[in-house]
């Protein structure tokens, strides 16, 4: 399952707004099309939008002003600002753009064609590294999963949300590949139903047993002892281990704590933002009211009703049992242990 692929100078993005009804790859020939795809959730998930933005930088470079190296670099930096402005919460987006710009500045050459090739090589590297890190994450994480475990996940943190394999779903895939015969409860994830539309579909493609529930069934499900552990992804992790993820994650974590159920977060280390001391400093994206008041084109709320629609919430570190990364499983005290991994990669 590919969330994206680069074909002859065109970025092909799996349009996730059309799933599960249609598998369609949207061709992006211009960085503005990549920016639009990120903003409208055609591509979504922190690692996936980071990889997509890296290829967007390549497309921007291909259309830059070649009159001088200064104008070329200025244009590429403007492309980076456009891409970074699309979604503020997921740190992987800015991380990937900045990495591309650093690669460009450090190239030390003035040949435009060679610079474009260097950028494409770096984007491909980001793409490959993400898949590799997901697989490593899966191997570390699956060791935490007992045989026959029933796992709850929120939103979609699978191959669709990454360059491939997945973070939270990557851990589940690895457990299944290890013969642990796991099963999954996927909550629907209002308001855009990523759990219903994407996670359920993705797991079914891999023949992993999945049961769909509505978001407000989680507490009752746990009270009936039908959940052994929770695994979710992340869009940004602060230096102290506070986790920003899809809205509703905090509520799931509170319920898991109440029912003494382990709550794991799976994310590449690029999702960790050591510049932010805690979750209060994480910018939270707010999205259009129509996402709440309508299903597609069908209105389900009174016209003109006031709506609050944050796309993410923050789960305090005290509710997180462990953070699973490609560098290993990180346990409290997070402020010390996250920094330790950075100082000793």
State yes or no: pLDDT of 343 exceeds 80. Answer: no
Query: Which residue is catalytic, options 187, 235, 273, 313?
Result: 235
Domain shared by 225 and 334, yes or no: yes
Domain of 50, CATH number, reads 1.20.120.420
- Same domain, yes or no: 190 and 310: yes
**Residues near 318 by Cβ (< 8 Å), separated by ≥ 6?**
none
Q: Is the pLDDT of residue 175 over 80?
A: yes
Q: What are 30-35's contacts with CB under 8 Å, separation 24+?
A: 30/59, 30/63, 31/56, 31/57, 31/59, 31/60, 31/63, 31/79, 31/82, 31/83, 32/82, 33/59, 34/59, 34/83, 35/82, 35/83, 35/85, 35/86
Same domain? 206 vs 291: yes
235 in active site: yes
DSSP, collapsed to helix, strand or coil, labels residue 167 as coil
Task: Note whether 23 and 109 are same-domain residues.
Answer: yes
Confidence category of residue 345, pLDDT binned at 50, 70, 90: low
Q: Let me know whether 155 and 275 are in one domain.
A: yes
pLDDT digits (tens, 9 = 90+) for 216-235: 999 999 999 999 999 999 99
Contact 94, 38 (CB under 8 A): no
Give the span between the Cα atoms of 67 and 337, in whole angstroms.
48
| Domains: count for the chain | 2
Q: Burial, 60: exposed, middle or buried (Cβ in 10 Å; 0-12, 13-18, 19+)?
A: buried
* Torsion sign across C-alpha atoms 168, 173, 178, 184: positive
Instruction: Encode pLDDT of 60-83 as tens digits.
Output: 999 999 999 999 999 999 999 999
Q: Tell me what pLDDT residue 4 has.
A: 98
Q: Cα separation of 137 and 32, whole Å?
A: 32
The predicted pLDDT at position 297 comes to 86
If pLDDT is split at 50, 70 and 90, which confidence band does 344 have?
low
- Residue environment code for 18-51, b if the CB has 16+ CB neighbours within 10 A, otherwise e: ebeeeeebbebebbbbbbebbeebbbbbbbbbbb
* CATH number, domain containing residue 209: 3.40.50.10470
Query: What is the rounded end-to-end Cα distance, in angstroms, of the chain?
Result: 30
Same domain, 162 and 265: yes
Of 84, 113, 134, the one marking the end of a domain is: 134
Please state, for a pLDDT cut of 70, what percent of the chain lies above it.
99
Q: Are 29 and 6 in contact (CB under 8 A)?
A: no
Co-location of 47 and 170 in the same domain: no
* H-helix or E-strand spanning residue 186: strand 183-187
Using DSSP's 3-state secondary structure scheme, residue 246 falls into: strand
Q: What percentage of the chain has pLDDT greater than the value 90?
A: 97
CA distances to 209, 228, 272 from 199, rounded to whole Å, are 11, 19, 24
- From 67, 102, 134, the end of a domain falls on 134
Mean pLDDT of the chain: 97
* Token couple for 153: 């996940």
Q: What is the pLDDT of residue 296?
A: 82
Using CA atoms, how far residue 175 sits from 134, 139, 140, 263, in Å, is: 13, 8, 10, 16
Same domain, 200 and 235: yes
* pTM recorded for the entire structure: 0.95
Question: Domain check: are 210 and 324 in the same one?
Answer: yes
Residue 212: beta bridge partners?
A: 186
Whether the pLDDT of residue 214 is over 70: the answer is: yes
Residues 216 and 104 in one domain: no
As given in the structure block, the two tokens for residue 315 are 């789960």
End position of a domain, from candidates 102, 134, 166:
134
Reported as a single tens digit per residue, the pLDDT across 261-281 is: 999 999 999 999 999 999 999
Confidence tier at 199 by pLDDT (50, 70, 90): very high
Residues 282 and 210 both lie in one domain: yes
Q: Which domain range does residue 76 map to?
A: 4-134
For residue 98, pLDDT over 70 is answered with yes
Closest CA to 244 of 134, 123, 130, 93: 93
pLDDT in tens, 286-332: 999 999 999 888 999 999 999 999 999 999 999 999 999 999 999 99
- pLDDT at residue 102 is higher than 80: yes
Based on the domain organization, do 232 and 103 belong to the same domain? no
């Amino acid at each position: 399952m590919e969330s994206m692929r680069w074909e002859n100078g065109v970025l092909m993005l799996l349009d996730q707004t059309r799933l599960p009804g249609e598998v369609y790859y949207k061709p992006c020939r211009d960085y503005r099309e990549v920016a639009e795809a990120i903003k409208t959730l055609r591509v979504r998930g922190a690692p996936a939008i980071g990889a997509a933005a890296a290829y967007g930088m390549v497309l921007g470079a291909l259309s830059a002003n070649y009159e001088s190296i200064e104008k070329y670099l200025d244009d590429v930096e403007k492309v980076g600002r456009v891409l970074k402005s699309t979604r503020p919460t997921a740190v992987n987006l800015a991380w990937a753009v900045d990495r591309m710009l650093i690669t460009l500045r450090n190239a030390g050459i003035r040949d435009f064609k060679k610079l474009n090739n260097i950028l494409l090589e770096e984007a491909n590297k980001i793409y490959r590294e993400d898949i590799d890190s997901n697989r490593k994450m899966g191997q570390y994480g699956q060791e935490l999963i007992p045989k026959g475990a029933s796992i709850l996940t929120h939103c979609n943190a699978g191959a669709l949300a990454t360059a491939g394999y997945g973070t939270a779903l990557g851990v589940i895939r690895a457990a299944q590949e290890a013969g642990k015969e796991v099963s999954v409860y996927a909550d629907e994830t209002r308001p855009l139903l990523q759990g219903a539309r994407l996670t359920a579909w993705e797991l079914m493609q891999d023949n992993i047993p999945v049961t769909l529930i509505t978001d407000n069934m989680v507490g009752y499900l746990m009270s009936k002892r039908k959940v052994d552990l929770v695994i979710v992804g992340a869009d940004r992790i602060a230096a102290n281990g506070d986790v920003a993820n899809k809205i509703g994650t905090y509520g799931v974590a509170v319920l898991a704590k109440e029912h003494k159920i382990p709550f794991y977060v799976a994310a590449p280390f690029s999702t960790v933002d050591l510049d932010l001391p805690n979750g209060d400093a994480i910018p939270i994206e707010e999205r259009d009211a129509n996402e709440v008041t309508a299903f597609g084109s069908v209105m389900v709320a009174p016209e003109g009703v006031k709506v609050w629609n944050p796309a993410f919430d923050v789960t305090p570190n005290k509710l997180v049992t462990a953070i699973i990364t490609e560098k290993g499983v990180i346990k409290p005290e997070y402020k010390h242990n996250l920094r330790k991994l950075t100082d000793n990669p």
